[in-house]
Amino acid sequence: MLKFGSCVNLSATEVAQGGSPLIDVQELSKTFKLSRRQQRELGKEKSAKTITALDRVSFQCQPGRVFTLLGPNGAGKTTALRIMATLMKPTAGTVKVNGHDVGKNPREVRHSMGSLTGSTGLYARLTPLEMLKYYADLYRLPPEKFRSRRDDLVARLDIGSFAEQRIGKLSTGQKQRVSIARTVIHDPDVVVFDEPTSGLDVISARNIVQLIKDCRQQGKTVIFSTHIMGEVSLLADDLAIIHKGRLLFNDTFKAFRKRMESRSLEDEFIRIVEEA
Amino acid sequence: MEFPIAWTIFKKEFIDTIRDRRTIIGMVILPLIMFPLIFMVMDRVMSSTDQKAREAMLQVAVFDQGNASGFRPYVGRQEAMELAEGLSREDIEDLIRNEELDGAYVFAPDFDAAVADRRSGRVTVYYKVTDTKIGRDRILEPLRQYGRDLLQARLDQLEVSEEFVTTVDIEERNVASQKERLAQMVGGFLPYMFILFCFTGAMYPAIDLGAGEKERGTLETLLASPAGRLEILLGKFGVVVLTGIFAACMSILGLYLGASQISLGEERMEDVMALLEPHSIALVLSLLLPLTVFFAGIMLSLSVFAKSFKEAQSTISPMIILVILPAAIGMAPGVELDSLTALAPILNVSLATKGIIAESINPLHLALTYVSLFVFAIISLVFSTFWFGREGVIFR
């Protein structure tokens, strides 16, 4: 029996709707050393030399499903995703992506992953086509595969009309479409979205939502972090609520709705966080 | 380590960099125009100052108390020089200091008697000269002519030739080569400029490829790609070093263009061409290459540590002073390349370049310079690799 307000980690078999998990996070912890200035800014005592961003977090993500990581700012969502993307090293615990350990085989992990964040930038002095070629080369895509992926993405995302203009001269919406194409140019099995709609207008945000739905339809594993309730109800198959580095809830979104004690998702989320 | 990935990053960073107007200004335009501009301004200013000093009307006063009356016509014979009359002897220093008068000749009361007695007559000359020597020479010229004529009269009286008083006939022959003379003239200044352009040419790309990329949010995406940190760093490093070396090459080209633009005369032009001999340039560039690697390592480390472009700029820009200082010490007379100075980066390049231009460099000191520069370049590269690998630096 799942209880809100407590940290519940379900095993893959309990959560899984499809095959074996593509992302397997076990007992993941991350602590950061604090500088004196940070200690002062955070109002920490002199003895507190570290801060815990993640505390024994475990979850699994299945192919063809959207795993949503929900939490307030500073909850540890970005840290968890950065560890998954091999940008940071865990202090303890293990993370496996597509069977590869993030610490032991970081290059293989990165090959099978695409990531898009709200703060993702583009090279303003390159054209969209140059940008796609650059990332295809980094992922060592064979020329034929690159051409077919490029043509497909340019057509699907309607990039053709501005494909050879400098990115710096494009509108926000056009840039967003280029970002999407860049994220999936190598056709990754796992796609990570870290607050991808923050700062975007409604139309650009809708493009992202559509991309996430497309990824799910294509059987990709999608991990999506947000603090926007509307996006959760629109996209989440599985939901994990994280607060102060600890998982407070981890189950299907359907299960979350069934167990809701409050009238709205937002109220329920606040209730869980406040109880923690 | 996958070299094709480092090469991919290098190519992209290079395209991105050369499309940036600010980099082009620092890498091509400034180094290319700086020497012609310096030469042109110096040429114009110097010739205009000289011309002004030669043509300016000089007001001079003579205080001879009735003696040395033969001197006044000599003043009258000078071009653009006139005698000021009715001035008080006590006021002359103030008048000259306030530039109301250009010069004054004060003859000693016994001047005539001394000359008649075949002794030296004393004349005190007052003038105010702070810039060019031309003003002083023009004021002294009537006195020199007067003195020569008095001497000639004395020799005529004694019926002796001028050789009688010229005991030593000095014939000067400077055996210093054109290159050595040129090295003395510009040997300190040129490496100073080359080093400065190496630094400033590499500075903007280093800031843009580190802090700029961090600020734009593209660094995290790049780090999440299969490119390893060493490959990313090497790609960026290559571009930063290339832009620094390219800026130095542009400054050498600018030196050539500048020298051909001004009227140096055939002999001087030959000197400049001798300076630009391929083997001299190749040697200078071979010194600048490890120095630029050293600069690139420091600049990229500071750049990736900064949270924003602005922060990186404010950290790296003051470093120009640290670069200028040893380069300027190298310009000072008497500072030579020896076993100790050959170990000090920047200063050793400055002094070695002087030696290369003069073709008087000691091979052992040159070898020590290379060893020192390569050691510092490797330390800088290793440090920046370690620094770039720290997550606390990337995600501050």
Helix (H, G, I), strand (E, B) or coil at B63: strand
Q: Which chain B residues have a beta carbon less than 8 Å from that of A89? A: 391
| pLDDT (average), residues A120-129 | 90
pLDDT at A1 over 70: no
**C-alpha distance from A114 to closest chain B C-alpha (Å):** 8
pLDDT at B266 over 80: no
pLDDT number for residue A5: 31
**C-alpha distance from B208 to closest chain A C-alpha (Å):** 11
> Could you give the CA distance from residue B27 to residue B60 in angstroms, rounded to a whole number?
53
pLDDT number for residue B178: 66
Test mutation, A31, A113, A137, A180, chain B, max B CBs within 10 A: A137
Q: Which amino acid is at B9?
A: I
Query: Is the Cβ pair B217, A85 closer than 8 Å?
Result: no
| pLDDT (average), residues B386-395 | 85
Concatenated DSSP letters of B67-122:
S-GGGHHHHHHSTTEEE--S--GGGHHHHHHTTS-SEEEEE-TTHHHHHHTTSPPP
Query: Is the Cβ pair A126, B225 closer than 8 Å?
Result: no
Element (H, E) at A15: helix A12-15
Helix (H, G, I), strand (E, B) or coil at A28: strand
pLDDT at B63 over 80: yes
- Pair A170, A162: CB distance under 8 Å: yes
pLDDT in tens, B233-261: 999 999 999 999 999 889 888 887 777 76
Structure tokens at B72: 């006044």
Q: Which chain A residues have a beta carbon less than 8 Å from that of B5? A: 137-138, 140
Q: Backbone phi, then psi, for B96, in 5-degree steps?
A: -70, -40
Query: Is the Cβ pair B391, A89 closer than 8 Å?
Result: yes
> For residue A6, what pLDDT band results from cuts at 50, 70 and 90?
very low
pLDDT number for residue A9: 33
- Average confidence score pLDDT of chain A: 84
pLDDT at A183 over 80: yes
Q: Which chain B residues have a beta carbon less than 8 Å from that of A111? A: 226
Query: Is the Cβ pair B220, A117 closer than 8 Å?
Result: yes
Out of B12, B15, B225, name the one closest to residue A110 (CB): B225
Query: Is the Cβ pair B8, A138 closer than 8 Å?
Result: yes
Closest of B326, B396, B369 to residue B335, by C-alpha: B326
> Could you give the CA distance from residue B40 to residue B43 in angstroms, rounded to a whole number?
5
Give chain A's end-to-end CA distance (angstroms, integer): 18
pLDDT number for residue B293: 93
pLDDT number for residue A17: 45
- Segment of A245-259, B63-77, B155-169 carrying the highest mean pLDDT: A245-259
Q: Is A39 on the interface with B (CB under 8 A)?
A: no
> For residue B53, what pLDDT band results from cuts at 50, 70 and 90?
confident
> Could you give the CA distance from residue B69 to residue B124 in angstroms, rounded to a whole number?
16
**C-alpha distance from A241 to closest chain B C-alpha (Å):** 24
Query: Is the Cβ pair A134, B5 closer than 8 Å?
Result: no
Q: Which amino acid is at A200?
A: L
- Residue B13 neighbours by CB under 8 Å, 6+ apart: B205, B209, B235, B236, B238, B239
Between the CA of residue B201 and those of B27, B195, B205, what are the distances in Å?
A: 5, 10, 8
| pLDDT (average), residues A17-32 | 82
Helix (H, G, I), strand (E, B) or coil at B264: coil
Concatenated DSSP letters of B114-156:
HHHTTSPPPEEEEE--SS-SHHHHHHHHHHHHHHHHHHHHHHH
pLDDT at A261 over 90: no
Q: Is A86 on the interface with B (CB under 8 A)?
A: yes
| pLDDT (average), residues A126-136 | 95
> Could you give the CA distance from residue B182 to residue B130 in angstroms, rounded to a whole number?
26
Query: Is the Cβ pair A123, B225 closer than 8 Å?
Result: no
pLDDT number for residue B270: 67
Q: Backbone phi, then psi, for A193, in 5-degree steps?
A: -120, 115
Residue of B nearest to A89 (CA): B391
Q: Is B82 left (phi over 0), alpha (psi -120 to 50) or beta?
A: beta
> For residue B371, what pLDDT band results from cuts at 50, 70 and 90?
very high
pLDDT at B185 over 80: no
- Residue B329 neighbours by CB under 8 Å, 6+ apart: B335, B347, B350
The CA-based angle B158-B159-B165, given to 5 degrees, is 75
> Could you give the CA distance from residue A212 to residue A197 in angstroms, rounded to a whole number?
11
pLDDT at A70 over 60: yes
> For residue B132, what pLDDT band results from cuts at 50, 70 and 90?
low
pLDDT number for residue B135: 80
pLDDT at B271 over 70: no
Q: B50-63: b or e for each residue (b if 16 or more CB lie within 10 Å)? A: eeebeeeebbbbbb
* ipTM of this complex prediction, to 2 decimal places: 0.84
Q: Which chain A residues have a beta carbon less than 8 Å from that of B216? A: 121-124
Q: Is A87 on the interface with B (CB under 8 A)?
A: yes
